[in-house]
Structure 1
């Protein structure tokens, strides 16, 4: 069976991709297949959501060689002993073997929200009389402060401040998504690429952002109106409601 049609292989490879343990030619092969198979994108986004919280939940400490097996057990990747894999699928199973803990720890920031940045944003607003607003603080795929999204509660304009730019290939555009508490992802709008930009919504921000607990941005085909993300998120983070 082709690995890209094997749900178990997809889940394990997506977990390794998000954790940073899928490297070299295998990582590039996985990304190439992901371009044309939405199931891989869904798996990557799912593992991003699952592994992201570990980045903020684990206390700072020196990583050890046992870190990957612990995470594997926590996330359900640990498997009972199985018969030797066939040659057709052995390449991806070998790639899931433990790697140096430093590489794993670096990979775990992938998809994580930035609680420190979010807290700084809130601290900056204290003591100030601000209008009711929605504010999203999004991280890059490397966990860096990436994008601030803000809109007046009853407004139709969204202001964007790009803290860390991402490369937007020709023929692609940034696309904003909202994520509700159930994990459902809904398209919002395509975004211009630039340090300070603005987007006009078709509906008031109250209707667009009220269900959101997170916002995310993917790279989509310019001019398209995708129903679901077709690529992994390049920005993702919390969406807050700034009023009492």
Structure 2
């Protein structure tokens, strides 16, 4: 009798597999057989159900930075400090957190607008107004900021999804990045979870060449021409209007 014909042994190995203590060649062999044996899959499912209450009771644990770097390398993201051409950046997968946030914005904003202006059968003139929208992520891929501004407006709305530490005497500074990755200063960001930034020119002028937005930490009261530190937030900048 082989091990997978012994119900008791199958149950013990399924428990170790679900718990994560089955390692090495034994785990690989179990996983290979799992795809062909419904009884093994059922045993693993039973163990997952048993352990679910205990797992839900555990406090959430943040993955180590090395774990995020390993995930980014396997997904094809460049190593820190490596300059990537703009066209390659557009072809790279978005960080999971920023992608999820982008999907949420893409789904919810039209629905909210339609709810305020007559529902899904309203005429085309009631769609979202022409705007610039940026979804910026943290270095570890989690969603960080949502930045938006009307195309002809002078106000930028910033919603902070996740905060970053800002040392005393320094501020967050918003940058516009063109297709070559060149950063142009926009303005320092006010502190707060939902804040407004006033521009000195219409958004059409400030963000006309932007394909990305980024935020660095700069000395308070300074007017930097280039970022003096690594970006703490960065993400794509979209133009929400029909291009001829």
Q: What TM-score bracket applies, with the shorter chain setting the length?
A: 0.5 to 0.7
CA deviation after TM superposition for structure 1 residue 220, in Å: 0.3
How many residues align? The count is 153
Residue 188 of structure 1, aligned match among 186, 189, 195: 186
CA deviation after TM superposition for structure 1 residue 49, in Å: 8.1
Equivalent position of 1:238 in the other structure = 236
Q: Which runs of 4+ in 1 moved over 4 A?
A: 47-55
For structure 2, the residue ranges without an aligned partner over 5 or more in a row are: 1-65, 71-79, 115-126
Equivalent position of 1:212 in the other structure = 210
User: Residue 123 in 1 paired to residue 121 in 2?
Assistant: no
Q: Taking structure 1 as reference, are residues 230 and 45 closer, same or farther at Cα in structure 2, changes over 3 Å only?
A: farther
Q: Are 2:86 and 2:180, in contact at CA under 8 Å, matched by a contact in 1?
A: no
Q: Are 2:157 and 2:196, in contact at CA under 8 Å, matched by a contact in 1?
A: yes
The within-5 A match list for 1:133-144 is: 133-144=131-142
Distance in 2, matches of 1:113 and 1:55, equals: 14
Equivalent position of 2:165 in the other structure = 167
The alignment partner of 2:129 has SS state of coil
Give CA deviations for 1:81-121 in whole Å, capped at 9, x if unaligned: xxxxxxxxxxxxxxxxxxxxxxxxxxxx6xx8822321221
Distance in 2, matches of 1:195 and 1:131, equals: 24
Equivalent position of 2:119 in the other structure = none
For structure 1, the residue ranges without an aligned partner over 5 or more in a row are: 1-16, 22-42, 58-108
Higher Cα Rg, which structure: 2
Distance in 1, matches of 2:165 and 2:188, equals: 15
Q: Are 2:177 and 2:183, in contact at CA under 8 Å, matched by a contact in 1?
A: yes
Q: Taking structure 1 as reference, are residues 134 and 169 closer, same or farther at Cα in structure 2, changes over 3 Å only?
A: same
The alignment partner of 2:108 has SS state of helix
CA deviation after TM superposition for structure 1 residue 51, in Å: 10
CA deviation after TM superposition for structure 1 residue 159, in Å: 0.6
- With the length of structure 1 as denominator, give the TM-score of the two structures: 0.56
